[in-house]
Structure 1
C-alpha cells in the first residue's frame, strides 16, 4: 500500500514538473491594435517556436492586431532610407502569418490588468491601495505562466502602448522577477516609461539599449491602421528619449551605418528596427536557452 502511494506521489510530482516546464516555455507578446510591423513579430516568433517556445498574444483592449500594409509590400520605399525595406522573404512570411488564425486568440489586457485610479475619484486612498494589491496579483499570474515578454514595434504602439499604464505594469511584472524582456523598434519606447510609481525612475536607467535612431525617423507619413491620421513625423524622437532614460551610467547605441543593431543588457533584449528582426530572435533565444547576459556592446 505504501509503495502504491509512493508511486502515485512520484507520478504526480513528475506531472507537476512537466506542467511547470511547459508553462516556462511560453512567451507573452504585446501587440498594438493600430498596426504592428509584420516581420518584427514574425521573425522572433519563428525563432522562438523553432526553439520550442509557444507565443501567446495580448492587445490593449482585446481587438485583433494586424500587420501594417507596408510591412508586407516589397515595393514600399522607406522615406529616410530611400530603399525598399520589405524583402520578398519577409513579405511572404508576414502574409502567411496574417492569413493564418494565429491572432484570432488573444488576451484582453484591460481585463487582466487593473487601471490605476484618478486622484480625483471618491475614496481615493482605498482605491489606490486596492489597485496596488490587484496589480500585484495580476503580475504574479503573468510571471508564473510566461517565461519572457516580447514587445513588438511598428507605428501602432505610439497610440496604444507607449504611454499605456497597463503595458507598463506588464513590463514591470517581468522586470521585478528579473525575467527576459525583448523589445524592437518603437516597441522599445514603453521601456522608457515603465517605472515604479513611487520612485519614478525608468527601468532602463544605467542600461545599454538600442532603438529607432534619429536617422531612421520619418519627416512625414507616420500612420496607423483604423484611422486616417497622418501624424507627420513621430511625436517623439525615440533615440533622444532612450538616451535620456538610460542616464549617464547607461548608453544608447544607434549603430547608424551598420545593417543591424541588437543589444542585450540583461534582462533587456532591444533591437533598432525591422532589419534586425531575425538577429533579435536569435538573441532572444540565446538569452532564454544559453543564459546570455550581454551582446552587441
Structure 2
C-alpha cells in the first residue's frame, strides 16, 4: 500500500526548496502527499525562495538554483491546483482552553448534537477527548509528518498548540516526524500541557544555527493575499532578525543528555534520532526527504548523521 505524508505549511510563507526538495522524493516513491495549514488557507512560497538572484546575507551567495526556482514557481503557480484546498488544522483539532475562561464553548458530541459547556474542568475534559480522537484519526491516516521551514512558521506554527497536538499524535504512534529549518522550533515547543519538558529532550537534532541567521531583512507574506507583507506606504515590512535564535532554543530543549548539531561550515546537516528527522536549512531539503523515504521503506536508519560510530 502506498504511503501517505502529511505536510504542514505556514500561511505566512514557506521556503520553496524546503517543500519541493522532500516533495520530489515522495513523488518519486509513489507516496500520497497531503497539505495542511493552520486555518485552511492556501500557503505560498516566499519570493526570495523563487529568486536565483537573491543573495543569502550570511553566506553571501545565492542559495536557490535556477532549476530549483523554476520548480518552486511551478508548484506556486495559480494554475497548479496542488496546494489548493489544504486541510484546515483548526477544523481538525480542538482549541486548547484557558483555565480562567468563563465563556461558553459549544462542542459537537458523539451523536452530532451541539453541547454547551461552561465549566473550565468540563472544557478541559472535552478538549482532551476531542484531541485524542483527532490525533488518532490523523496519525492512522498518515505514515509520516513533515513541517516545512521558512520565516512564516515563526508566526503561525511554532507556538501553535494545534500543531503541537498534531506532533504529539504522531509521537504517540511512533511515526516519523520531520522538520526543516525554523520549522524545527515546533519540536522544541511541543509538549503536553502538564509536562514542561520538550519532546526532543535527550535527542540529537540540527536546525538553523546562529551563524546562518539574518541580522536583518526577515520578511513574511500576508496570508490574506499571499504577497509580501507591506505597510500602507507600500514598503515591505522588514521584521529585522528572526524573532528568536533557534540554536539557543534547541540547545535548551534537548537538555543535558541530548545535543544540538549546527555542523557549521558543512554543506548539509540532517540528523535522524528516531522518530525525529531534522534538517538544518535549504540545502538539506532533498536529504531530509530521502531519509523519510528510507525510514518508511526499510525501517532505518533510526540513528544517523550525528556520530559516525553510532550511525546504524
Q: So what's the TM-score if we normalise by structure 1?
A: 0.91
> How far is the alpha carbon of 1:105 from its aligned partner?
2.4
SS at match of 2:34: strand
SS at match of 1:111: helix
SS at match of 2:200: coil
> How far is the alpha carbon of 1:80 from its aligned partner?
0.9
> Does the alignment pair 1:126 with 2:104?
no
How many residues align? The count is: 275
Q: Which position in structure 1 is the counterpart of 2:254?
A: 246
Q: Which position in structure 1 is the counterpart of 2:26?
A: 48
- For 1:95 and 1:155, the matched residues in 2 are separated by 18
SS at match of 2:12: coil
> Does the alignment pair 1:86 with 2:94?
no
Q: Which position in structure 2 is the counterpart of 1:265?
A: 273
- For 2:139 and 2:289, the matched residues in 1 are separated by 20
Q: Which has the higher helix share?
A: 1
Moved over 3 A (4+): none
Provide, for residues 103-155 of structure 1, a one-character-per-residue CA deviation record: whole Å limited to 9, x for no partner: 11211111111001111223101101110010000000001100010000000
Contact 2:13 2:44 in 1 (8 A): yes
- For 2:31 and 2:183, the matched residues in 1 are separated by 21
1:168 corresponds, among 144, 151, 164, to 164
> How far is the alpha carbon of 1:283 from its aligned partner?
1.0
> How far is the alpha carbon of 1:235 from its aligned partner?
1.1
Contact 2:40 2:85 in 1 (8 A): no
Q: Which position in structure 2 is the counterpart of 1:294?
A: 303
- For 1:85 and 1:276, the matched residues in 2 are separated by 11
> How far is the alpha carbon of 1:52 from its aligned partner?
1.6
Contact 2:150 2:181 in 1 (8 A): yes
- 1:11-50 equivalences under 5 Å are 21-22=1-2, 25-50=3-28
Query: What is the alpha-carbon root mean square deviation over aligned residues?
Result: 0.9
- For 2:261 and 2:130, the matched residues in 1 are separated by 37
More divergent stretch after superposition (130-139 vs 225-234): 225-234
Contact 2:177 2:277 in 1 (8 A): yes
Could you list the runs of 5+ residues in structure 1 that have no partner in the other structure? 1-20
- For 2:240 and 2:51, the matched residues in 1 are separated by 21
Q: So what's the TM-score if we normalise by structure 2?
A: 0.87
SS at match of 1:249: coil
Provide, for residues 11-65 of structure 1, a one-character-per-residue CA deviation record: whole Å limited to 9, x for no partner: xxxxxxxxxx34xx11100000000000101110110111121110010011110
- For 1:125 and 1:235, the matched residues in 2 are separated by 34
SS at match of 2:134: helix
